[in-house]
Amino acid sequence: MESRIADNLACVKKRIRQAEQQYQRPPGTVQLIAVSKTRPAGEILAAAAAGQRHFGENYLQEALEKITALADRKLYWHFIGPIQSNKTRLIAAHFDWVHSVDRLKIARRLSEQRPAHLPPLNVCLQVNISNESSKSGLPLAGLADTAREVAELPNLRLRGLMAIPKRSSNPADQRIPFHQMHQALVSLAAAKISLDTLSMGMSADLEAAIAEGATMVRVGTDIFGPRN
Ligand SMILES: *Cc1c(COP(=O)(O)O)cnc(C)c1O
C-alpha cells in the first residue's frame, strides 16, 4: 500500500510538472492537494512519508478523526466539501483552508468562530461554474459583491476561487469552464479584489485546469485509488 501510494503520488506530480511546462506556467506554481476523503489515516501517513503535506477532506466527522490521529505530524488540512452552518465552528477550529465557501452567512460564521490563537483562515469562494442546480457554489453574477464582503471579515483571508465543473472527457471542453474561472479572477482583480488562488482540477482534468491557470489541484482517485 505504501509503495503504491508513493508511486501514484510521483506519477501525479510528474503530470503536474509536465502540464506546467507545456502551458508555460512557472515550475512549482501548481500545488497538489491530496484528497483523502473516505481513506484511512494509514494511507495519509503513507502519502506524508512520500512528502505530501496538504490534504483535502469533505466530511467533517471523518476528517476530525484523522486530524486528531495525525496531530503530531505537520500537515495542512483543506475542507473542500459542502458546509452546513452547524458545522462551521469545528471547521474554523481544525482546518487551515476552506475551499467551499458558497454563501456570506457561512463566511461570517467561520470568521466569528475562528479561534483567536490561530492565524486567519484561508478561504476560497466556490463558484457554480457550470450552473448545475445540483451543485453548490455562487453564480458568477454578483460574485464581486460577495467577494468584497468576505474580504473584509477579520479572521478570514480570502485567497481565491474554487470550482468543480461538469464532467467532460474531452480536454478541449474541459478547458471552457476553467477558462471562465480564470476570467472571473481577472474581473475581480480589475475590481481591486486581488486573489492568488484558483482551486480547480481533479484526477481526470488537472491538465486542462493547469492550462487555464489553476494554482491548486485537488486529486483523490489517482493518488489513493477508486473510492467505494
Ligand atoms: C472528491 C473530490 C476531489 C477529488 O476527486 P478525484 O476525481 O478523486 O481526483 C476534488 N475536489 C472535490 C471538491 C472533491 O469532492
**Residue 39, ligand 1, Cβ within 6 A:** no
- Give the SS3 label for residue 33: strand
CA of 223 to the centre of ligand 1 (A): 11
**Residue 164, ligand 1, Cβ within 6 A:** yes
Q: How many CB atoms lie within 10 A of CB 117?
A: 5
**Residue 203, ligand 1, Cβ within 6 A:** yes
- Per-residue confidence (pLDDT) for residue 108, from 0 to 100: 98
Residue nearest (by alpha carbon) to ligand 1 atom 7:
203
Segment-wise mean pLDDT, segments of 10 residues, the chain, 228 residues? 92 98 98 98 97 98 98 97 97 98 98 98 97 89 97 98 96 97 98 97 98 98 95
CA of 160 to the centre of ligand 1 (A): 18
Q: What separation in angstroms does the CA of 161 have from each of 48, 112, 188, 198, 200?
A: 26, 21, 10, 5, 8
Residue nearest (by alpha carbon) to ligand 1 atom 11:
218
Whichever domain contains 68, its CATH number is 3.20.20.10
Picking from 222, 214, 226, 218, the residue whose alpha carbon sits closest to that of residue 35 is: 218
CA of 190 to the centre of ligand 1 (A): 30
* Ligand 1 atom nearest residue 80's Cα: 13
- Per-residue confidence (pLDDT) for residue 133, from 0 to 100: 83
* Ligand 1 atom nearest residue 204's Cα: 7
- Per-residue confidence (pLDDT) for residue 228, from 0 to 100: 82
CA of 34 to the centre of ligand 1 (A): 9
Q: Say if residues 181 and 212 touch (Cβ distance below 8 Å).
A: yes
CA of 117 to the centre of ligand 1 (A): 31
Please report, to the nearest 10 degrees, the dihedral formed by the alpha carbons of residues 136, 138, 140, 143 taken in order.
-160
Residue 206 lies in domain: 2-224
Q: Which residues, other chains included, contact 73 with Cβ-Cβ below 8 Å and sequence gap of 6+?
A: 45, 48
Specify the pTM. Answer: 0.97
Record the cell numbers describing residue 154, joined without a space. 477579520
Start-end of H helices in 24-165: 41-49, 60-69, 88-94, 104-113, 143-151
- Give the SS3 label for residue 161: strand
Total domains present in the chain: 1
